[in-house]
C-alpha cells in the first residue's frame, strides 16, 4: 500500500481492466528498488558473518574459501557498509563513524572491472544499471571512469550517513607495487591473492589511520607467503590477524547434487583448494585422509561405551577440549563434542565442560606448571578445584613416553583403517584438521589446539570410562560362600 501511494496508484478505485497493469507496474518498481539497494537485503551465511565479526578485533583478516562460496559477495557487502556507514542492526564487525577512504583490488584491470566493479557498482558495460551492485544507487554521488580500460571505473564517491563523502578507488596488482604507494586509507580489500609486496604496501596504507585490510580468495597458490602470514600467526604474537575458512558445504545455496557435480569438474590436485578452501599442503599435510571418510552425522551412543575428555591449555591461543566416545568392540573412536575459547580462566572453561558429564580428563605436560592467573597453582590443579576429574598424570602412553609423533601416528592409523570418526557438524575441528601441517619437517605448533586435545585423549584412551553405575553386589545369603568359610 505504501508503494502504491508513493506512485499515486489507488488500486481499489481502478476499473478491473486496469488493475492487472497497475499490479504489474508495482511489481516492476518493487523489483527495481530492490535491485538498486541490494545491501539492505544482504544476509550473511554463518561463515560470512564470522568473517565480518572478526573485523571488530582483528586488523588483518583472511577469508579463505571454496570456489563459488560467496566470498566476493561478502567482501563487497562489508566494503559497502563501511563506505555508507549504514550498518544493519545485526552487524557485529568493525564500524567507522565517519567517511572512509578505500581501495578494492583484483589481479588485473579487466578482472577488477568484471568481478569487483560489477559486484559493487553493477554491470560494467551497462551504465544505466550502475547502482545495482552492493553500493546502493542512492548512495553513489559521482563516478570517474578509467582512461585505459573500456567501461572500467577508477573512483567512486559514496554518500556517508554522517553527511560526508567516502571514496572508493579500484586497483589491480598488475600495475606493480609502486602504484600502491602514497595514500592513507581506512579500508583495503583484496579480492584475489596478491603477492607479498603488494599486500605489504596495502597494509602500509592503513598504518597511519589504524584501518583494516582484508582478503577474500581461494588458495590456489598453496601455502604462499601471504597465506603463511596468517597460518603461522599465533595470536599471542600477532593479535591483529585472523583467518576464517569456508568450504562448499558451508554454502546453503548448493544442493548435494550441485556439490557432487562441482567437485567432479575439478582436477584432483585442485579439488581440496576449490571445494574446501584448503591451500595445497603437499607432503607437509599431517593427516592426508579425506575428511569425507571421517565425517558422520550426529548419533546417540550406547551408554556402556566409555568416554574420555582431552584438553589443551591456552590463553592467547584458545583453550580447547574434545570428548571422545570409544567403541571397544571395534576399537573405533568418535569425536563427539568440541569446545574452544581464548582469554578465559579455568572457572569459565570448567563451567562450560561440566555439562558434558563426569568425564576423566587427559591433559598435557604443561598442566604441571604454575600460572599467574592461577596465583601459583598448577593448571591441572586449577581445573580439579573447579570440579573436573583430571587424570592423575599428564597424557602419556603406557610406557610413560609422550612422543608427539607416536600420538599422530596412532590417530592416522585409526583414520586410515576407518576407526576414527568425527561428527560432521564440528566445523571448528575440521577447520584445524585441514590446515594441520608440518613446516621444515616439524609439526607446525599454531592453530592446532583441538588437534592436540584430541591427541591427548587418544593417548589416554585406556582411562576412558562409562557413566553407568556398577551393579550393586547381592546381599542374599550365599550357601556356597558359607560352606567355604
Catalytic positions are: 192
Report whether 170 contacts 117 (CB < 8 A): yes
Cβ neighbours of residue 376 under 8 Å, at least 6 residues apart? 370
State how far Cα 170 lies from the chain centre: 27
Number of neighbouring beta carbons within 10 Å of residue 92: 13
State how far Cα 376 lies from the chain centre: 35
State how far Cα 27 lies from the chain centre: 38
- For the chain, first and last CA: distance in Å? 96
Distance CA 384, CA 361 (A): 10
Distance CA 86, CA 88 (A): 7
Residue 304: all three cell numbers together:
556402556
> Any idea what DSSP says for residue 333?
E
Residue found under cell 546453503: 252
Distance CA 202, CA 194 (A): 10
Report whether 326 contacts 313 (CB < 8 A): no
Distance CA 274, CA 261 (A): 13
User: Which residues are bridge partners to 156 per DSSP?
Assistant: 143, 168
Amino acid at each position: 500500500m505504501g508503494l502504491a501511494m508513493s506512485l499515486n496508484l489507488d488500486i481499489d478505485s481502478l476499473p478491473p481492466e486496469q488493475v492487472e497493469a497497475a499490479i504489474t507496474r508495482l511489481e516492476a518498481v518493487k523489483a527495481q528498488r530492490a535491485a538498486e539497494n541490494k545491501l539492505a537485503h544482504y544476509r550473511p551465511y554463518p561463515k560470512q558473518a564470522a568473517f565480518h565479526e572478526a573485523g571488530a578485533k582483528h586488523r588483518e583478516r583472511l577469508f579463505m574459501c571454496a570456489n563459488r562460496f560467496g566470498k566476493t559477495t561478502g567482501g563487497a557487502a562489508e566494503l559497502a557498509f563501511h563506505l555508507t556507514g549504514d550498518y544493519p542492526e545485526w552487524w557485529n564487525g568493525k564500524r567507522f563513524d565517519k567517511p572512509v577512504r578505500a581501495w578494492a583490488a583484483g589481479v588485473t584491470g579487466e578482472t577488477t572491472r568484471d568481478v569487483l566493479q560489477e559486484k559493487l557498482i553493477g554491470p560494467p558495460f551497462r551504465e544505466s544499471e550502475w547502482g545495482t551492485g552492493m553500493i546502493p544507487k542512492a548512495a553513489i554521488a559521482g563516478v570517474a571512469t578509467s582512461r585505459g580500460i573500456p567501461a572500467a571505473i577508477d573512483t567512486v564517491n559514496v554518500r556517508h550517513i554522517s553527511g560526508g563523502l567516502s571514496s572508493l578507488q579500484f586497483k589491480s596488482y598488475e600495475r606493480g607495487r609502486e602504484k600502491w604507494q602514497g595514500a592513507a586509507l581506512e579500508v583495503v580489500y583484496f579480492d584475489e591473492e596478491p603477492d607479498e609486496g603488494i599486500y605489504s604496501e596495502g597494509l602500509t596504507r592503513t598504518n597511519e589511520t589504524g584501518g583494516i585490510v582484508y582478503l577474500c580468495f581461494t588458495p590456489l597458490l598453496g601455502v604462499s607467503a601471504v597465506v603463511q602470514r596468517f597460518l603461522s600467526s599465533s595470536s599471542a604474537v600477532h593479535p591483529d590477524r585472523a583467518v576464517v575458512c569456508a568450504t562448499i558445504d558451508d554454502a546453503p545455496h548448493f544442493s548435494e547434487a550441485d556439490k557432487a557435480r562441482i567437485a567432479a569438474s575439478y582436477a584432483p590436485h585442485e579439488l581440496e583448494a576449490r571445494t574446501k578452501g584448503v591451500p595445497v599442503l603437499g607432503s607437509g599435510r599431517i593427516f592426508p585422509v579425506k575428511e569425507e571418510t571421517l565425517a558422520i552425522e550426529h548419533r546417540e551412543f550406547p551408554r556402556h561405551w566409555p568416554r574420555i575428555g582431552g584438553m589443551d591449555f591456552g590463553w592467547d591461543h584458545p583453550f580447547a577440549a574434545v570428548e571422545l566416545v570409544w567403541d571397544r568392540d571395534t576399537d573405533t573412536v568418535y569425536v563427539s563434542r568440541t569446545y574452544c575459547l581464548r582469554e578465559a580462566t579455568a572457572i569459565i572453561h570448567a563451567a562450560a565442560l561440566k555439562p558434558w558429564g563426569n568425564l576423566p580428563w587427559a591433559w598435557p605436560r604443561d598442566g604441571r606448571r604454575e600460572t599467574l592467573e592461577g596465583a601459583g597453582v598448577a593448571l591441572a590443579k586449577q581445573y580439579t578445584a573447579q570440579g573436573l576429574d583430571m587424570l592423575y598424570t599428564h597424557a602419556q602412553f603406557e610406557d610413560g613416553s609422550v612422543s608427539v609423533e607416536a600420538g599422530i601416528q596412532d590417530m592416522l592409523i585409526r583414520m586410515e583403517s576407518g576407526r576414527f570418526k568425527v561428527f560432521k557438524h564440528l566445523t571448528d575441528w575440521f577447520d584445524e584438521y585441514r590446515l594441520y601441517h608440518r613446516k621444515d619437517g616439524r609439526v607446525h605448533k599454531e592453530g592446532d589446539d583441538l588437534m592436540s586435545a584430541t591427541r591427548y585423549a587418544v593417548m589416554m584412551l585406556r582411562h576412558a570410562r562409562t557413566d553407568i553405575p556398577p551393579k550393586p553386589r547381592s546381599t542374599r545369603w550365599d550357601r556356597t560362600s558359607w560352606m567355604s568359610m
